[in-house]
Amino acid sequence: MDHHTQDHVGILSEAFYLPPDKKLVADVFRDEDVPFGTLSKNVDFQRDIGIHDIHVTEEMPSVLALEACRRAMDQASVSASEIDLVVDFTSIPEDYVGPTWSAAGLVQHELGLDNAFATAVNTGGCASYHLALKSVMSLMLSDTGFETALLFAGDRTPEFNKTYYPITVASDGGSALVVRRNSPRARILGVETISIGRLHDVWYVPGLQSREPNEEPTEKLLHMYAKMDKFNEGVIPINFRMFGKVIQKLLKRCKLSMEDVDYYIYPTFSTWDQAYFLKKFDLPREKVYTAALKHRGHVQESDMVINYAEAVDQGHIRPGDKVMVISNGAGFAWSAALIQH
């Protein structure tokens, strides 16, 4: 077997679905308990977020995921019978909250993917995209029974829990990829991840079991919370250093340098976060996709899929380009994937 043309995994298609209804971020801040004031480095969360409006819906997260899956399969011209593996990489609670439930089974059933095995990889927060890619690559390259896989995510945050202070404002939406062993399009050159276990509970959803004595059960127990002291002391000082570490680890494995990377896909958190990323790695703005921030905000782990798809459609990513897709995620992980489009 020629290892230059075989034994790799490529992305046949990437697609997404964003519900049409929008909500102004000013109205989000009005409706939610968002602190005022300046964070470290003279950053004011409300002033410097850079997000004007987000997508919102009352549909279940699985509906968003299903629509994205249908679009990805249509774009890849892949039939239901060709899908061997279905992987859900949604990072927050979905239609049901439970230890064994994932939308993977629902997607398998609704789309008639009768030949597929359905599972979930979602412990990396917004880096779950990378963990799913890495897991699927490992399965495909070790088991010839897995030829084609469908990866997806679907997120709908609670109505009054769109603000992830002090990071971003979350948008509802779904995304999906179809990947195939030995596909010539969008070859995945490598995926690297780093996790730090002591930060596992910086972001968390408390759940009913975490109620205080005599506390009334309310929807707020299913809201996302941050331990601000742990975030400021544990994440902020090392965040971009960890990004650099995972990027260099991946480039070294691929025998490449930063100069070899043509384009970067980075989460849409905020204008100040994007500015720090560009400054830290001395990157010109035209090499990093930032256009999505203002009218979408952060679509959790789907940012990586949606931003990549839009960058391709807008001509920022061309055939042959080497694209670095980067994210961090509550869990806590830093991840990078290098894709030769």
CA distance 306 to 153: 11
Q: Which two tokens stand for residue 56?
A: 């919102």
Q: pLDDT band at residue 116, thresholds of 50, 70 and 90? A: very high
Q: Check residues 215 and 98 and name the one with the higher pLDDT.
A: 215
- CATH T-level assignment (fold) for domain 190-340: Peroxisomal Thiolase; Chain A, domain 1 (3.40.47)
CA distance 231 to 222: 20
Q: Which two tokens stand for residue 219?
A: 């929807």
CA distance 266 to 240: 12
Q: How many CB atoms lie within 10 A of CB 17?
A: 26
Q: pLDDT band at residue 218, thresholds of 50, 70 and 90? A: confident
CA distance 222 to 158: 8
**C-alpha count within 13 angstroms, C-beta hemisphere, residue 163:** 21
Which pTM was predicted? 0.93
Q: Which residues pair with 87 in a beta bridge?
A: 119, 151
Q: Is the pLDDT of residue 259 over 90?
A: yes
Same fold, 9-183 and 190-340: yes
Look at domain 9-183 and name its CATH class: alpha beta
* Average confidence (pLDDT) over 196-222: 87
Question: What's residue 61's pLDDT?
Answer: 95
pLDDT digits (tens, 9 = 90+) for 84-104: 999 999 988 778 876 678 899
Q: Which two tokens stand for residue 198?
A: 């002591």
Q: Which two tokens stand for residue 30?
A: 């009005």
Which residue has tokens 């203002």?
294
| Per-domain residue ranges of the chain | 9-183, 190-340
pLDDT digits (tens, 9 = 90+) for 280-311: 999 999 999 988 999 999 999 999 999 999 99
**Dihedral sign, Cα of residue 9, residue 10, residue 13, residue 14:** positive
Of 44, 55, 23, the residue nearest 271 (C-alpha)? 44
Q: Which two tokens stand for residue 128?
A: 């779950």
Q: Are the C-beta atoms of 202 and 227 separated by less than 8 Å? A: yes
Question: What's residue 37's pLDDT?
Answer: 55
Instruction: Give the total residue count for the chain.
Output: 341
DSSP letters along 16-82, please?
A: EE--S-EEEHHHHHHHTTPPPSB-GGG-BHHHH----EEE--SS-HHHHHHHHHHHHHHHHT--GGG
Q: Which two tokens stand for residue 163?
A: 């603000």
CA angle 213, 217, 222 (to 5 degrees): 115
CA distance 286 to 303: 18
CA distance 338 to 247: 9
Q: Are the C-beta atoms of 234 and 199 separated by less than 8 Å? A: yes
CA distance 68 to 215: 39
